[in-house]
A and B are shown apart, each in its own frame.
Chain A
Protein backbone atom coordinates (compact mmCIF):
# COMPACT_ATOMS: atom_id res chain seq x y z
CA UNK A 1 0.00 0.00 0.00
CA UNK A 2 1.11 3.51 -0.67
CA UNK A 3 2.30 5.59 2.28
CA UNK A 4 1.16 9.15 2.84
CA UNK A 5 2.96 11.17 5.50
CA UNK A 6 1.83 14.36 7.16
CA UNK A 7 4.59 15.38 9.53
CA UNK A 8 2.75 18.27 11.18
CA UNK A 9 0.14 16.98 13.65
CA UNK A 10 -0.88 20.56 14.50
CA UNK A 11 -0.47 23.96 12.91
CA UNK A 12 -1.78 27.39 13.77
CA UNK A 13 -2.17 30.57 11.75
CA UNK A 14 -3.33 34.08 12.43
CA UNK A 15 -6.50 35.11 10.72
CA UNK A 16 -5.79 36.66 7.29
CA UNK A 17 -2.30 35.14 7.18
CA UNK A 18 -1.00 32.31 5.02
CA UNK A 19 -0.19 28.79 6.16
CA UNK A 20 1.31 25.78 4.39
CA UNK A 21 0.53 22.19 5.30
CA UNK A 22 3.01 19.53 4.27
CA UNK A 23 2.45 16.12 2.75
CA UNK A 24 4.82 13.57 1.28
CA UNK A 25 4.00 10.22 -0.26
CA UNK A 26 5.74 7.10 -1.38
CA UNK A 27 4.87 5.42 -4.66
CA UNK A 28 6.51 3.69 -7.59
CA UNK A 29 3.70 4.64 -9.94
CA UNK A 30 3.76 7.47 -12.43
CA UNK A 31 0.03 8.08 -12.76
CA UNK A 32 -2.01 8.94 -9.70
CA UNK A 33 -4.17 11.55 -8.04
CA UNK A 34 -3.52 13.57 -4.90
CA UNK A 35 -6.15 15.22 -2.75
CA UNK A 36 -6.55 17.46 0.25
CA UNK A 37 -9.65 16.90 2.37
CA UNK A 38 -10.93 19.12 5.14
CA UNK A 39 -12.72 17.71 8.17
CA UNK A 40 -14.38 20.35 10.36
CA UNK A 41 -15.81 19.52 13.78
CA UNK A 42 -19.00 18.38 12.04
CA UNK A 43 -16.98 15.34 10.92
CA UNK A 44 -17.94 15.78 7.27
CA UNK A 45 -15.09 15.05 4.83
CA UNK A 46 -14.92 17.87 2.30
CA UNK A 47 -12.74 17.81 -0.80
CA UNK A 48 -10.60 20.94 -0.90
CA UNK A 49 -8.43 20.40 -3.93
CA UNK A 50 -7.31 17.71 -6.36
CA UNK A 51 -4.16 17.27 -8.43
CA UNK A 52 -3.53 14.85 -11.26
CA UNK A 53 0.08 13.69 -11.33
CA UNK A 54 0.40 14.10 -15.10
CA UNK A 55 -0.41 17.81 -14.82
CA UNK A 56 2.62 20.00 -14.20
CA UNK A 57 0.52 23.00 -13.30
CA UNK A 58 -0.33 23.28 -9.63
CA UNK A 59 -4.04 23.15 -8.80
CA UNK A 60 -5.73 26.21 -7.34
CA UNK A 61 -9.18 26.66 -5.81
CA UNK A 62 -9.80 30.21 -4.63
CA UNK A 63 -7.65 30.71 -1.48
CA UNK A 64 -6.32 27.14 -1.63
CA UNK A 65 -3.38 26.14 -3.78
CA UNK A 66 -0.91 23.29 -3.88
CA UNK A 67 2.79 22.96 -4.49
CA UNK A 68 3.15 19.64 -6.28
CA UNK A 69 6.72 18.40 -6.61
CA UNK A 70 6.49 15.06 -8.37
CA UNK A 71 10.16 14.15 -8.24
CA UNK A 72 10.31 14.92 -4.54
CA UNK A 73 6.92 13.22 -3.96
CA UNK A 74 5.72 16.27 -2.11
CA UNK A 75 2.24 17.81 -2.14
CA UNK A 76 1.79 20.79 0.17
CA UNK A 77 -1.36 22.84 0.65
CA UNK A 78 -1.21 26.62 0.95
CA UNK A 79 -4.13 28.46 2.49
CA UNK A 80 -4.07 32.20 1.85
CA UNK A 81 -6.00 34.86 3.76
CA UNK A 82 -6.92 32.31 6.43
CA UNK A 83 -10.41 32.53 7.84
CA UNK A 84 -11.90 31.22 11.07
CA UNK A 85 -13.91 28.72 9.05
CA UNK A 86 -10.68 27.14 7.82
CA UNK A 87 -10.07 25.65 11.25
CA UNK A 88 -10.30 21.89 10.81
CA UNK A 89 -8.37 18.66 10.35
CA UNK A 90 -6.75 18.47 6.93
CA UNK A 91 -5.97 15.14 5.34
CA UNK A 92 -3.72 14.50 2.39
CA UNK A 93 -4.73 11.49 0.28
CA UNK A 94 -3.31 9.47 -2.60
CA UNK A 95 -5.15 7.46 -5.21
CA UNK A 96 -3.56 5.30 -7.88
CA UNK A 97 -4.87 5.28 -11.43
CA UNK A 98 -4.40 1.53 -11.62
CA UNK A 99 -5.84 -1.43 -9.76
CA UNK A 100 -8.58 -0.82 -7.25
CA UNK A 101 -7.53 2.84 -7.00
CA UNK A 102 -8.77 3.44 -3.50
CA UNK A 103 -7.81 6.40 -1.36
CA UNK A 104 -4.86 6.21 1.04
CA UNK A 105 -4.85 8.91 3.71
CA UNK A 106 -2.23 10.60 5.81
CA UNK A 107 -2.69 10.99 9.54
CA UNK A 108 -3.92 14.56 9.30
CA UNK A 109 -2.94 18.05 10.43
CA UNK A 110 -5.12 19.96 12.85
CA UNK A 111 -5.24 23.62 11.82
CA UNK A 112 -6.15 26.29 14.35
CA UNK A 113 -6.97 29.79 13.17
CA UNK A 114 -6.25 32.50 15.72
CA UNK A 115 -8.50 35.58 15.57
Chain B
Protein backbone atom coordinates (compact mmCIF):
# COMPACT_ATOMS: atom_id res chain seq x y z
CA UNK B 1 0.00 0.00 0.00
CA UNK B 2 1.82 3.10 -1.25
CA UNK B 3 -0.43 5.68 0.49
CA UNK B 4 0.03 9.21 -0.84
CA UNK B 5 2.77 9.58 -3.44
CA UNK B 6 4.16 12.93 -4.51
CA UNK B 7 6.50 13.52 -7.42
CA UNK B 8 9.01 14.99 -7.81
CA UNK B 9 10.63 15.21 -4.38
CA UNK B 10 12.83 18.15 -5.39
CA UNK B 11 12.53 20.68 -8.20
CA UNK B 12 14.28 23.87 -9.24
CA UNK B 13 12.43 26.21 -11.59
CA UNK B 14 13.29 29.47 -13.24
CA UNK B 15 10.97 32.41 -12.76
CA UNK B 16 8.17 32.27 -15.28
CA UNK B 17 8.35 28.54 -15.93
CA UNK B 18 5.34 26.34 -15.39
CA UNK B 19 5.19 22.88 -13.92
CA UNK B 20 2.88 20.32 -12.36
CA UNK B 21 3.37 18.69 -8.99
CA UNK B 22 1.88 15.24 -9.02
CA UNK B 23 -0.09 13.63 -6.20
CA UNK B 24 -1.59 10.16 -6.28
CA UNK B 25 -3.25 8.06 -3.62
CA UNK B 26 -4.25 4.43 -3.75
CA UNK B 27 -6.64 4.38 -0.78
CA UNK B 28 -9.78 5.43 -2.67
CA UNK B 29 -9.99 8.57 -0.56
CA UNK B 30 -12.53 11.20 -1.53
CA UNK B 31 -10.85 14.17 0.12
CA UNK B 32 -7.54 15.50 -1.20
CA UNK B 33 -5.73 18.75 -0.54
CA UNK B 34 -2.55 20.69 -1.22
CA UNK B 35 -0.62 22.64 1.40
CA UNK B 36 2.52 24.72 1.30
CA UNK B 37 4.92 24.92 4.21
CA UNK B 38 7.04 28.01 4.71
CA UNK B 39 9.45 28.69 7.58
CA UNK B 40 7.67 30.13 10.59
CA UNK B 41 4.24 29.84 8.99
CA UNK B 42 3.18 26.23 9.37
CA UNK B 43 1.16 24.60 6.61
CA UNK B 44 -1.32 26.64 4.63
CA UNK B 45 -4.07 25.26 2.43
CA UNK B 46 -3.79 26.01 -1.29
CA UNK B 47 -6.61 24.02 -2.91
CA UNK B 48 -8.72 21.05 -1.96
CA UNK B 49 -11.13 18.55 -3.45
CA UNK B 50 -13.98 16.60 -1.88
CA UNK B 51 -14.33 14.22 -4.81
CA UNK B 52 -13.65 13.71 -8.49
CA UNK B 53 -14.71 16.74 -10.49
CA UNK B 54 -14.98 19.00 -7.41
CA UNK B 55 -12.29 21.46 -6.36
CA UNK B 56 -12.20 24.62 -4.29
CA UNK B 57 -9.76 27.26 -3.10
CA UNK B 58 -8.01 27.33 0.23
CA UNK B 59 -6.18 30.15 2.01
CA UNK B 60 -3.46 30.81 -0.56
CA UNK B 61 -4.72 29.78 -4.05
CA UNK B 62 -3.21 32.54 -6.19
CA UNK B 63 -0.76 31.30 -8.80
CA UNK B 64 -1.94 27.69 -8.60
CA UNK B 65 -4.46 25.58 -10.46
CA UNK B 66 -5.84 22.14 -9.67
CA UNK B 67 -8.12 19.59 -11.25
CA UNK B 68 -9.54 16.27 -10.09
CA UNK B 69 -10.45 14.10 -13.02
CA UNK B 70 -10.03 10.84 -11.10
CA UNK B 71 -10.34 9.84 -7.44
CA UNK B 72 -6.67 8.84 -7.35
CA UNK B 73 -4.94 11.94 -8.75
CA UNK B 74 -4.85 15.56 -7.70
CA UNK B 75 -2.16 17.51 -9.59
CA UNK B 76 -1.11 21.03 -8.64
CA UNK B 77 -0.11 23.34 -11.47
CA UNK B 78 2.10 26.39 -11.15
CA UNK B 79 1.18 28.61 -14.05
CA UNK B 80 4.14 31.02 -14.01
CA UNK B 81 6.55 30.31 -11.19
CA UNK B 82 7.64 33.16 -8.93
CA UNK B 83 10.32 33.22 -6.20
CA UNK B 84 7.51 33.64 -3.64
CA UNK B 85 6.39 30.12 -4.53
CA UNK B 86 9.62 28.66 -3.19
CA UNK B 87 8.30 26.31 -0.53
CA UNK B 88 7.71 22.74 0.48
CA UNK B 89 4.45 21.39 -0.90
CA UNK B 90 2.42 18.65 0.72
CA UNK B 91 -0.46 16.66 -0.66
CA UNK B 92 -2.86 14.98 1.76
CA UNK B 93 -5.84 12.69 1.44
CA UNK B 94 -8.52 11.28 3.72
CA UNK B 95 -11.39 8.89 3.34
CA UNK B 96 -14.16 11.22 4.45
CA UNK B 97 -14.78 14.29 6.56
CA UNK B 98 -14.41 12.45 9.86
CA UNK B 99 -11.19 10.56 9.29
CA UNK B 100 -7.54 11.46 9.64
CA UNK B 101 -5.45 12.90 6.83
CA UNK B 102 -2.52 11.03 5.31
CA UNK B 103 0.30 13.14 3.93
CA UNK B 104 2.75 12.60 1.12
CA UNK B 105 6.45 13.14 1.73
CA UNK B 106 6.45 16.59 0.22
CA UNK B 107 8.06 18.35 -2.73
CA UNK B 108 10.73 20.94 -2.11
CA UNK B 109 10.40 23.56 -4.83
CA UNK B 110 12.90 26.34 -5.41
CA UNK B 111 12.17 29.13 -7.87
CA UNK B 112 15.20 31.14 -8.93
Residues of chain A whose beta carbon lies under 8 Å from any beta carbon of chain B: 1, 4, 9, 35, 42-45, 47, 50, 91, 97, 100-108
* Contact across chains for A105 and B42 when beta carbons are under 8 A apart: yes
Q: Is the CB of B106 within 8 A of A102?
A: no
B109 at the A/B interface (Cβ < 8 Å)? no
Supply 16 further A-B pairs (C-beta < 8 A) apart from A9-B40, A100-B48, A107-B42.
A4-B42, A43-B88, A43-B106, A44-B105, A45-B103, A91-B42, A91-B43, A97-B98, A102-B45, A102-B48, A103-B35, A103-B43, A103-B101, A105-B42, A107-B40, A107-B41
Docked-complex contact A1 and B41, CB < 8 angstroms: no
Instruction: Contact check, A100 vs B42: say whether CB atoms are below 8 A apart.
Output: no
The answer to whether B105 and A100 have CB atoms under 8 Å apart is no
A-B pair number, CB within 8 angstroms: 46
Closest Cβ–Cβ distance, residue B11 to chain A (whole Å): 14
Taking the closest CB of chain B, its distance from the CB of A61, in whole angstroms, is: 12
Give min CB distance, A9 to chain B, whole Å.
8
Residues of A within 8 A of B42 (CB): 4, 91, 105-108
**A50 close to B43 (CB less than 8 A):** no
Shortest beta-carbon distance from B93 to chain A in Å: 12
The 6 closest A-B pairs by CB, nearest first: A45-B103, A105-B42, A105-B43, A107-B42, A43-B106, A101-B97
In the complex, 6 of the A-B residue pairs with CB atoms within 8 angstroms, ordered by the A residue number, are: A1-B59, A9-B40, A100-B56, A103-B35, A103-B92, A107-B41
User: In the complex, which of the residues B40, B44, B48 contacts A105, with contact meaning CB atoms closer than 8 Å?
Assistant: B44
A45-B90 in contact given A91-B42, A103-B101 (Cβ < 8 Å): yes
